[in-house]
Amino acid sequence: MDDDTMRAFGVMDDQGNVKPLPYYKTAEQGASTSVLLAAFPLLEGVTGRYVEDNGEARTVRAEDEGPGGVAEHALDPEAADRLWGYATSALRTD
């Protein structure tokens, strides 16, 4: 992010000092979950899970506060099947 954006988000003061907030991540921290999933042999073949911060994401409801987690509706297998049907029908060229 550029300095103006960082100031707007409250993570940089007017003198250019970075003041990280507890929920902001470094590039390394941000990449760690993807690296773990790509490189950890015990996770090979594991699919259909939402993962954040190197662990399975907690399920959240709309009224839950705070960052993170996966919405209940994202775990609905019937909704997933409907979405897959929409996506595959849109790709048909016949």
| pLDDT of amino acid 94 | 64
Higher-pLDDT residue of 21 and 58 is 58
User: 66-83: per-residue pLDDT in tens?
Assistant: 788 999 888 999 998 999
Residue 32 CA: distances (Å) to CA of 2, 43, 77, 91: 23, 14, 28, 34
| pLDDT of amino acid 67 | 80
- For residue 12, pLDDT over 80 is answered with yes
User: 40-64: per-residue pLDDT in tens?
Assistant: 888 888 888 899 999 999 999 888 8
Using DSSP's 3-state secondary structure scheme, residue 88 falls into helix
- For residue 24, pLDDT over 80 is answered with no
| pLDDT of amino acid 55 | 92
Alpha helices by DSSP H, listed for 9-50, are: 27-39
Q: What is the mean pLDDT of residues 10-32?
A: 86
